[in-house]
Chain A
Amino acid sequence: MAPPAEVLAVRGLSKTFPGVRALDGVDLTLHAGEVHALIGENGAGKSTLIKLLTGVHRADAGDIVFQGRTVSFGTPLEAQKAGISTIYQEVNLIPLLSVARNLFLGREPRNRFGLLDFARMNREAEEALGAYGVRVDVRRPLRSLGVGAQQMVALARAVASEARIVVMDEPTSSLEPREVETLFSVIRRLRDAGIAVIYVSHRLDELYAVCDTVTVLRDGRRVHHGRLAELDRLSLVSTMLGRELGEVRTEGLTKFTGDHHATDAEPVLEARDLKVPHQLHGVSVSIRPGEVVGLGGLLGSGRTETAKAISGALATSSGRVTVAGVPLRAGSTPAAIRAGISLLPEDRKSEGIVPGLSVRENISLAALPRLSRFGLVSEARVDSIVDTFIERLRIKASSPHQKVGELSGGNQQKVLLARWLAMNPKVLLLDEPTRGIDVGAKAEVQKLVDELAADGLGVLLISSDLEELIEGSDRVVVLKDGAVVGELTGDEVTEDKLMRTIAGHAPDGDVLEEAATDG
Chain B
Amino acid sequence: MTATKTDAPVSATRDKRPAPAGEPPGSARSERVSALVQQHGALAVLLVVSLVASFSFDSFATGDNISNMATSSAFLAIVALGMTFVIITGGIDLSVGSLFALGGVLAAWGSRHGTLVALLLPLVVCGAVGVVNGLLVARSRLAPFIVTLAAMLGARGLMLALTDEGANTYLIGKGSFLAELGQGSTLGLGNPVWITLALFVAGAVVLRRTRFGQHVYAVGGNEDAAALMGAPVARTKILVYTLSGVTAGLAGALNAAWLASGVTILGNGMELEAIAAVVIGGTLLTGGLGYVSGALVGVLLLKVIQNVINQIGSLDSSYQQVVSGAFLAVVVVAQTWLGRRRQLM
Q: Which of B217, B225, B230 contacts A81 (CB 8 A)?
A: B230
**Identity of the chain A residue whose Cβ is nearest the Cβ of B23 in the assembled complex:** A146
- The answer for the CA separation of A76 and B218 in the assembled complex, in Å, is 16
- The answer for the CA separation of A178 and B9 in the assembled complex, in Å, is 9
Most A Cβ at <10 Å: residue of B1, B209, B221: B1
**Mask: chain A, 466-481; 1 = CB below 8 Å from B; 0 = not:** 0000000000000000
Q: Which of A94, A134, A482 contacts B218 (CB 8 A)?
A: A94
Quick check: B20 and A176 within 8 Å, CB to CB? yes
- Could you say which residues of chain B place their CB within 8 Å of the CB of A77? 227, 230-232
Most A Cβ at <10 Å: residue of B6, B22, B24: B22
Quick check: A144 and B5 within 8 Å, CB to CB? no
- Given known A-B contacts A108-B211, A148-B20, A94 and B288 have beta carbons under 8 A apart: yes
The answer to the question of A39 belonging to the interface, with a C-beta cut-off of 8 Å to chain B, is no
- Given known A-B contacts A93-B222, A149-B11, A514 and B22 have beta carbons under 8 A apart: no
**Identity of the chain B residue whose Cβ is nearest the Cβ of A174 in the assembled complex:** B22
Quick check: A275 and B10 within 8 Å, CB to CB? no
**Chain A nearest CB, measured from B65 CB (Å):** 38
The answer to the question of B309 belonging to the interface, with a C-beta cut-off of 8 Å to chain A, is no
The answer to the question of B301 belonging to the interface, with a C-beta cut-off of 8 Å to chain A, is no
Q: Which of B1, B9, B14, B222 contacts A483 (CB 8 A)?
A: B1
The answer to the question of B229 belonging to the interface, with a C-beta cut-off of 8 Å to chain A, is yes
**Identity of the chain A residue whose Cβ is nearest the Cβ of B232 in the assembled complex:** A77
The answer to the question of B52 belonging to the interface, with a C-beta cut-off of 8 Å to chain A, is no
Which one of A7-15, A20-28, A95-103, A412-420 is at the B interface? Answer: A95-103
The answer to the question of A86 belonging to the interface, with a C-beta cut-off of 8 Å to chain B, is yes
**Mask: chain B, 19-32; 1 = CB below 8 Å from A; 0 = not:** 11111100010010
- Could you say which residues of chain B place their CB within 8 Å of the CB of A133? 10
Q: Which of B3, B221, B227, B230 contacts A95 (CB 8 A)?
A: B221
The answer to the question of A315 belonging to the interface, with a C-beta cut-off of 8 Å to chain B, is no
The answer to the question of B228 belonging to the interface, with a C-beta cut-off of 8 Å to chain A, is yes
**Chain B nearest CB, measured from A484 CB (Å):** 8
- Could you say which residues of chain A place their CB within 8 Å of the CB of B226? 94, 105
- Could you say which residues of chain A place their CB within 8 Å of the CB of B23? 145-146
Quick check: A134 and B11 within 8 Å, CB to CB? yes
- Given known A-B contacts A76-B227, A94-B225, A96-B221, A134 and B10 have beta carbons under 8 A apart: yes
Quick check: B11 and A136 within 8 Å, CB to CB? yes
Chain A stretch 265-296: residues in CB contact (< 8 A) with chain B: 273, 275, 277-278, 281-282
- Given known A-B contacts A76-B230, A282-B1, A518-B3, A92 and B11 have beta carbons under 8 A apart: no
- Given known A-B contacts A177-B5, A483-B1, A76 and B228 have beta carbons under 8 A apart: yes
Quick check: A145 and B11 within 8 Å, CB to CB? yes
- Could you say which residues of chain A place their CB within 8 Å of the CB of B210? 114-116
Contact size class for A? 35 or more
**Chain B nearest CB, measured from A118 CB (Å):** 8
- Given known A-B contacts A80-B230, A108-B211, A96 and B2 have beta carbons under 8 A apart: no
Quick check: A95 and B5 within 8 Å, CB to CB? no
- Could you say which residues of chain B place their CB within 8 Å of the CB of A110? 211
Chain A stretch 145-172: residues in CB contact (< 8 A) with chain B: 145-150, 152, 157
How many A-B residue contacts, CB cutoff 8 Å? Answer: 150
The answer to the question of A19 belonging to the interface, with a C-beta cut-off of 8 Å to chain B, is no
- Could you say which residues of chain B place their CB within 8 Å of the CB of A485? 1
The answer to the question of B268 belonging to the interface, with a C-beta cut-off of 8 Å to chain A, is no
Number of B interface residues in the complex (CB < 8 A): 46
**Chain B nearest CB, measured from A428 CB (Å):** 28
**Chain A nearest CB, measured from B11 CB (Å):** 3
The answer to the question of B205 belonging to the interface, with a C-beta cut-off of 8 Å to chain A, is yes
Chain A stretch 131-149: residues in CB contact (< 8 A) with chain B: 133-137, 140, 143-149
**Chain B nearest CB, measured from A95 CB (Å):** 6
Q: Which of B3, B19, B227, B229 contacts A275 (CB 8 A)?
A: B3
- Could you say which residues of chain A place their CB within 8 Å of the CB of B221? 94-97
- The answer for the CA separation of A76 and B225 in the assembled complex, in Å, is 11
**Chain B nearest CB, measured from A511 CB (Å):** 16
Quick check: B230 and A179 within 8 Å, CB to CB? no
**Chain B nearest CB, measured from A111 CB (Å):** 9
- The answer for the CA separation of A95 and B20 in the assembled complex, in Å, is 18
- Could you say which residues of chain A place their CB within 8 Å of the CB of B224? 92
The answer to the question of A106 belonging to the interface, with a C-beta cut-off of 8 Å to chain B, is yes
**Chain A nearest CB, measured from B282 CB (Å):** 13
- The answer for the CA separation of A136 and B4 in the assembled complex, in Å, is 24
Quick check: B230 and A143 within 8 Å, CB to CB? no
The answer to the question of B343 belonging to the interface, with a C-beta cut-off of 8 Å to chain A, is yes
- The answer for the CA separation of A56 and B224 in the assembled complex, in Å, is 11
Quick check: B232 and A281 within 8 Å, CB to CB? no
Quick check: B343 and A143 within 8 Å, CB to CB? yes
**Chain B nearest CB, measured from A518 CB (Å):** 6
Quick check: A106 and B229 within 8 Å, CB to CB? yes
- Given known A-B contacts A94-B221, A94-B288, A146 and B31 have beta carbons under 8 A apart: no
Quick check: B13 and A136 within 8 Å, CB to CB? yes
The answer to the question of A88 belonging to the interface, with a C-beta cut-off of 8 Å to chain B, is yes
Quick check: B21 and A278 within 8 Å, CB to CB? yes
The answer to the question of A519 belonging to the interface, with a C-beta cut-off of 8 Å to chain B, is yes
The answer to the question of B8 belonging to the interface, with a C-beta cut-off of 8 Å to chain A, is yes
- The answer for the CA separation of A483 and B142 in the assembled complex, in Å, is 46
- Could you say which residues of chain B place their CB within 8 Å of the CB of A275? 3-4
- The answer for the CA separation of A81 and B231 in the assembled complex, in Å, is 12
- The answer for the CA separation of A157 and B227 in the assembled complex, in Å, is 14
The answer to the question of B322 belonging to the interface, with a C-beta cut-off of 8 Å to chain A, is no
The answer to the question of A29 belonging to the interface, with a C-beta cut-off of 8 Å to chain B, is no
Can you sample 11 A-B contacts with CB below 8 Å? A94-B217, A105-B229, A116-B214, A143-B24, A145-B11, A146-B8, A146-B20, A147-B21, A149-B10, A281-B1, A518-B3
A residues whose Cβ falls under 8 Å from a Cβ of B: 56, 75-77, 80-81, 86, 88, 92-97, 101-102, 105-106, 108, 110, 114-116, 118, 133-137, 140, 143-150, 152, 157, 174, 176-179, 182, 273, 275, 277-278, 281-282, 317, 482-485, 514, 518-519
12 further A-B pairs in the complex, CB-CB below 8 A; given A76-B230, A152-B10: A76-B227, A88-B228, A94-B222, A105-B215, A108-B211, A136-B12, A143-B344, A146-B10, A146-B23, A148-B22, A519-B2, A519-B3
